[in-house]
Amino acid sequence: MIIHQLNTTNSILNTFISEIRDESIQQDSMRFRRNIERIGEILGYELSKTLNYTKNIIQTPLGKKEVSLINNDIVLCSILRAGLPLHQGLQNYFDKAENAYISAYRHHPNNDAEFEIVVEYFASPSLENKTLLLADPMLATGNSLVAVLEALKKNGTPKEIHLVCVIGASEGIEYIKKHFPKNTHLWIAAVDDTLNDKGYIIPGLGDAGDLAFGEKL
């Protein structure tokens, strides 16, 4: 796996990360969603530098100009529901991409510490030979991403996968490294050291889905 952790370079990205973490700011759900979207735009811009380009001739009203344009067939896939604002940020830039949505949630049959990942809803075009951008804001244990990777297989094998995440835990990154193809890129804004006993990233930001969309039963 090729890991690109973006907050190690000083940039405006760190302002957006600090606002989604800050408990006095993150309660404004519209601002929380918009900040995640802005982070998605930055991650998307950075990953666009590694895509394939072909030269095109553009006709302006006054002449012709050669421009290199992306030629990958891109599918944006997000894990519902927390992935939606990140998906929106990617879609703002990759506006011609196809889109896929998959649900994955933590089911706690016994207690809070133990959970299994349940994948239910899945709507996706063919992924065969495409460039898959898989958006999941919080890479905690890595279990959801691995369960989603398994479910996506029935729609074909992508040429390459770019995982797009906002905050990750080192443990989860180690876990997904073992399950995703070696040429997978991980684009991540920030990495924290630990998980608590409920599988939440510490210090992280809390529950990204609840902060974006409100609590659920």
Contacts with ligand URA by CB under 6 A lie at 82, 138, 140, 200-201, 204, 207-209
Provide, rounded to whole angstroms, the least separation between the CB of residue 164 and ligand URA: 15
Provide, rounded to whole angstroms, the least separation between the CB of residue 169 and ligand URA: 8
Q: Phi, psi (5° rounding) for residue 198?
A: -100, 5
* Ordered DSSP codes for 115-184: -EEEEEEEE----TT-EEEEE-SEESSSHHHHHHHHHHGGG---SEEEEEEEEEEHHHHHHHHHHS-TT-
Tokens 């760190």: give the residue.
Answer: 14
Omega before 181 within 30 of 0, i.e. cis: no
Q: Which C-beta is closer to ligand URA: that of 116 or that of 128?
A: 116
Q: Which C-beta is closer to ligand URA: that of 127 or that of 165?
A: 165
Provide, rounded to whole angstroms, the least separation between the CB of residue 140 and ligand URA: 4
Q: Which C-beta is closer to ligand URA: that of 66 or that of 215?
A: 215
Distance between CA atoms of residues 208 and 137, nearest Å = 7
Of 59, 60, 106, the closest CA to residue 82 belongs to 106
Provide, rounded to whole angstroms, the least separation between the CB of residue 18 and ligand URA: 16
Q: Which C-beta is closer to ligand URA: that of 152 or that of 211?
A: 211
Q: Which C-beta is closer to ligand URA: that of 82 or that of 127?
A: 82
Distance between CA atoms of residues 106 and 108, nearest Å = 6
Provide, rounded to whole angstroms, the least separation between the CB of residue 208 and ligand URA: 4
Provide, rounded to whole angstroms, the least separation between the CB of residue 101 and ligand URA: 17
DSSP for residue 6: G
CB 111 within 8 A of CB 141: no
Q: Which C-beta is closer to ligand URA: that of 82 or that of 97?
A: 82
